[in-house]
Structure 1
Amino acid sequence: MRDPMQALATCFEQVAFFFPSGNPRLQESFERRARYLDSRNYPREELVDTLKAYHRFLGANKETLQMIDELRRNETLVVITGQQAGILTGPLYTLYKAMTIIRLAEEQRKRLGRPVVPVFWIASEDHDWIEIHKTFFLNYKGKPFPCSLPGDGEEGKSVGILPVPSWEAIELQLLQLPDGEFRDLVLQHCRRFLNQAENLAQWFALTLQWLLKKWGLILFDPLLPEFKRLAAPMYEQILKLHSSVREALFRRTEAWTKLGFSAQIQPLGGEVNLFLANPERRAILNQGHSYYLRGQDKILDNDVLPMLLRKNPGMFSPNVVTRPIVQEFLFPTLAYVPGPGELNYWAQLGEVFLSFGFIMPILFPRLSAVIVTPSWQKSLSKEGLTLADVYQGLDGYKERCIRDRDSLDIEHRIQQLRSVIEKGYKELGPLEDIHANVHDWIIRNEMKVNLQIEYLRKKLWQAQRKKYGAVLEGLRVLEDGITPNKGRQERILNPLYFVTLFGEGFVDRIAELPLTGDFCEQKILL
């Protein structure tokens, strides 16, 4: 399968049809998009009033409240991204996404000469408990360990409304963090946010807001009743146009896969592309002139859903196909910042946007980075390794390290012993004349001796590894830091691990990264 990230960065003209607002690396794309947005109307007053009330509850600073106030002005545009409400912000890439919209908004504010503000859409409506219930840190030995929410979640319920755990359950796990200079401060903040939050979405919002407070990031929680009411007209449109939307998605997906890309969204059939929470969040499906919920047999008449929508829009939420549509309806979206997986499914949505009379926003790839601490830098330099070497895995290199330090020629000496024994057993050949069974006895005895020699060989190498255990441990620490759990650092480790070691200034280092617009991984040398 082709890589959409590479296509977007190196041969945009080949995929331009799927990204109609233009190449994210060209300023003219942003200028053209801004002119298009000026022809649209948005519920700015209601949106701003609700955002201000929400951020006052969060304890937002004046920088954020000022950004929100700017949204009242018709010329103000938005750079937006989104992510599920992972505990303690979730993995590093959540922070990278947020910093990308902050930096891109700052850049376009200057280039367009008009207000552009960053908005982070908390995907609190999602019900993927497995995705958000765990995050990873490194302990004092540099080994990954999980910090997990207790329990198994509540099946089918949006994770954003689930209650926060007790601080004791979280603190017990976080005490495995190394005793860095800022650990106590980080734990104090985490405890305060958890005690203030009423649900997981608020806990996520409070934590992310703290890390990015100086940049005025605006947070959006679609589960808030006021936002649900604002989105209700679009939910109604989604219900009316579900058939057209399915066809539009099918056509664009077919065209995308014909170019050799994989389809991230795989419809099962009959999707209305809305969920109904009653109380579990279930997909609404269409069958002829009636509706039903996935996993249930009960048929809903045509007038039931519109009636429910008018009465209680909070019961409805969009799915992966229509969430971007609701976003486009609510916000004057100059650009959306996706991760690599999102980029793939957004490519399937261009005609879906057209079904509602919208044009898909510019897609600007998020920052991608790998953090290299001073101790990891030292290990790389000392061993003559590159990050590419670490990504390929160090098992082979570790084995070579041990063998290169073998000054006593273990393998040579063992082989000499084998040769002597083999020669000795050959010299026993004349003894076979004693009895017909002597030949078999000699063979079996030689096999037993060779097994003992192999055992000895393994024990010698085991002792050699133990002798140079510090070298192997250093390589293990390096590997667990750069590729924790054999995965990409930005997808596994929680940013608070680095804050405990380097303080809030660590976030400033992320803010210094240049915007490349191509998912190119950059190094952050601490």
Structure 2
Amino acid sequence: MLNRSTRSTISYSDTNSFSKLVLDYLSGDEKLKPFYNLFPSIDSFKTAIDLKSKEKTNRELLVKVLEQQYLDIDASELVKNNIKSLLDKNTYTVTTGHQLCLFTGPLYFLYKVVDIINLAKTLNQHYPDHDFVPIYWMVTEDHDFAEINHAHVFGKKIEWVKEVAGPIGRIETTSLESIIVELEKVLGDHENAKYLIGLFKDSYLKHDNLAKATQYLVNELFGEYGLVILDPDCKELKNEFTDIIKSDIIEQTNYKLVNETIDELKSAGYHDQVKPREINVFYLEDDLRARIVEESGKYQVLDNEISFTKEELENELEKNSEKFGPNVVTRPLYQEKILPNLAYIGGGAEVAYWFEYKKMFEHHNIAFPIIFLRNSVMVLDEATQKNMEKLQLIETQLFKDENTLIKEYVEANSNEEITLKEEMNAMNEIFVKVVKKTEYVDKSLVGMIMAENKKQVNAFNNIEGRLRKAEKAKFETEQNKINKIKEKLFPDGHLQERHDNFITYYMRYEKDFIGSLIEHLDPLEFKFTILK
């Protein structure tokens, strides 16, 4: 059981799974320093607090909206207190954002949430004169349904097939009833299965849309730890952001500033993660999420008859701000405008795109938050650990490709030396002598001799390959164990955390799974975590 779990860590660089930008950032590389404000350390928060305290955040409105959004949620006392504490100028937030993935999606969503919970806890201990609240910013206005409509459970893909238009947070969820029935068949009648199926029915079948369903589900999993969940698809909150929306559409300064920063990142040896558009705002209705483009002096909703003059646009923004939604470029501005936020925790791709935005933040006089890389975790069950012990595999070897791992194992455990390097060297020496003799007699023959040498090298390589194959066949049982380990830890060739859903682990470990994550994940450590 994971209530007796242990952990170990390895360097991110040893996993071969993280970009140069991320590794350089965590090592404090000088080339990246112009692209962020403060390095992610506990001491940096002193400066972050000072910078954010100079901004005017509408705390009263934020608390009012949160209390409205929690009316139908059974919030813990800790969540209620956290929401109320946001009225206090000495309370700040740490935030992560994520799409509304079916059944929470891949495991790494849990790791992001646990990281902000643990970061807030550490900050509360380190800065006792302030309070820190973990916020999950639901990405309710996204449109990529294919990215969020499935979950991998015990090797089976559970998929919600549906025609969708408009922001995903507004999608009705009653059509998930048949999907939950399908999941029930996969999980069986175990007590843990009954709990999860009940949870999903309460989440998806008793709420109007995916935003409310996800809020309910995530609160059930993390409410006891004080996590506050915010739906930004809200007219009152967007009223606070209309000046920046107007600036993006009319002046298009964000487009220019982000492109300037991308050019600087490329000059420093990095590639762009997100390409800004001239206008980084969508027009929204329940069944519509479309880009706005400027055409012939008017602002046109793409592939639609809706269009505005400058004056009409300003009027529409003032009256119907809920119809305008940020894209991946302007969403961080919206988040940091609305929240008294100090830090954002995200994956490698998120870290990369935040680095494109610093100039944009400076232009709008909004403090650039401290950017943290979320923890990455690999869970090793007992069977995997036993197989690793039998094979004498160490954790860093797990990140090598399967063929390399098998080859190394065979070489390390074979009684016979399966290399012909010595013999090949001896053969090459003979050919060197033959060439020297030939040069005295007829230099025109040297090319023919070298070609023969190459032919013999190829023959030796072929023989060596056959020897390896024959030796490898003696280790069929061990190969199968290596294959099983790799498939379990890297399903479909992906990191476990980017594929598997938490259901698989909750079925085995119950609440101990989340409890172990809370116990073991340290967002300030910057190491890849192995959980056993």
Assess same fold via TM > 0.5: yes
Letter in 2 for 1:338: G
Contact 1:285–1:294 (CA<8 Å) still a contact in 2? yes
Partner in structure 2 of residue 147 of structure 1: 158
For residue 254 of structure 1, give the secondary structure of its aligned residue in structure 2: helix
Q: Give the letter aligned to residue 117 of structure 1.
A: V
1:161 corresponds, among 149, 170, 176, to: 170
1:17 is aligned to 2:34? yes
| CA RMSD after TM alignment | 2.9
> Residue type of the partner of 1:326?
Y
Q: Kindly report which structure 2 residues correspond to 1:435-514, keeping only aligned pairs within 5 A, or say none.
A: 474-514=481-521
State whether structure 2 residue 280 is matched by structure 1 residue 280.
Answer: no
Q: Secondary structure at the match of 2:329?
A: coil
Amino acid in the other structure paired with 1:491: R
- Partner deviation per Cα, 1:413-463 (whole Å, 9 max, x = no partner): xxxxxxxxxxxxxxxxxxxxxxxxxxxxxxxxxxxxxxxxxxxx9xxx9xx
Aligned match of 1:70: 85
* Secondary structure of the corresponding residue to residue 141 of structure 2: coil
Contact in 2 for aligned 1:9/1:518 (Cα 8 Å): no
* Alpha-carbon spacing, 1:496–1:358, altered in 2? closer, same or farther (3 Å): same
Deviations 1:77-114 (A, max 9, x none): 01011000001111111111111111111111222221
Normalization by structure 2: what TM-score? 0.79
CA 1:42 to 1:31, structure 2 compared with 1: closer, same or farther past 3 Å? same
Please say if 1:137 is aligned against 2:153. Answer: yes
Residue equivalent to 2:356: 348
Q: Which amino acid aligns with 2:160?
A: L
1:339 and 2:347 equivalent?
yes
SS at match of 2:157: strand
Could you list the per-position Cα deviations for residues 44-66 of structure 1 after superposition, in whole angstroms to 9, with x for gaps in the alignment? 11211220121231222211111
* Residue 255 of structure 1: how far off its partner (Å): 0.6
Instruction: Give the drift of 1:216.
Output: 0.8
More deviation, 81-90/163-172: 163-172
Aligned position for 1:175: 185
How many angstroms apart in 1 are the aligned matches of 2:373 and 2:194? 35
137, 143, 157: which one aligns with 1:121:
137
- Report deviation, 1:354: 1.4
The separation in 2 between residues aligned to 1:12 and 1:472, in whole angstroms, is 40
36-45 vs 381-390, which moves further: 381-390
Of the candidates 202, 226, 240, which is equivalent to residue 212 of structure 2?
Answer: 202
Matched residue type, 1:15: L
User: Which aligned pairs between 1:229-268 and structure 2 lie closer than 5 A?
Assistant: 229-240=239-250, 242-267=251-276
CA distance in 2, matches of 1:317, 1:257: 29
Identify which range, 486-495 or 57-66, moves more after superposition. Answer: 57-66
Letter in 2 for 1:255: E
The reply on whether 1:308 has 2:316 as its aligned counterpart is yes
Change (3 A) 1:307 1:30: same
Q: Measure how far apart 1:150 and its partner are.
A: 2.3
What displacement does 1:213 show?
2.2
In the TM superposition, residue 468 of structure 1 has moved relative to its aligned partner by: 6.6
Instruction: Measure, in 2, the Cα distance between the counterparts of 1:298 and 1:118.
Output: 39
Fraction of identical pairs, as percent: 23
The 8 Å contact of residues 87 and 203 in structure 1, kept in 2 or not, is answered as: no
In 2: Cα distance, 1:206 partner to 1:386 partner: 41
Secondary structure of 2:342's aligned partner: strand
Relative distance call for 1:79 and 1:298 in structure 2 (3 A) is closer
> What 5-or-longer segments of structure 1 have no aligned partner?
139-143, 408-456
In 2 relative to 1, CA 225–322 (structure 1 residues): closer, same or farther, beyond 3 Å? same
> Closer, same or farther in 2 for the Cα pair 1:174/1:237, shift >3 Å?
farther
Residue matched to 2:194: 184
Q: Distance in 2 between matches of 1:126 and 1:9?
A: 29
Task: Quote the offset at 1:389 in angstroms.
Answer: 3.3
Deviation at 1:253, TM superposition (A): 1.1
Match of residue 40 from structure 1? 55
Q: Give how far 1:338 is off.
A: 1.6
Query: Which amino acid letter does the alignment assign opposite residue 487 of structure 2?
Result: D
Deviates more, 1:393-402 or 1:328-337: 393-402
Q: Note closer, same or farther for the CA distance 1:298–1:261 as it changes in structure 2 (3 Å cut).
A: same
Distance 2:187 2:509 in 1: 13
Aligned to 2:107: 92
Instruction: Supply the distance in 2 between the matched residues of 1:247 and 1:234 (Cα, whole angstroms).
Output: 15
**Greater Cα radius of gyration, structure 1 or 2:** 1
| CA offset digits 1:190-238 (Å, max 9, x no partner) | 2222222221222222222122122110001112344334444543444
- Quick one: distance in 1 between partners of 2:481 and 2:30? 46
Relative to structure 1, is the Cα distance of residues 406 and 24 closer, same or farther in structure 2, using a 3 angstrom cutoff?
Answer: closer
Structure 1 residue 282, shift from structure 2 partner: 1.1
- Give the letter for the 2:32 counterpart: V
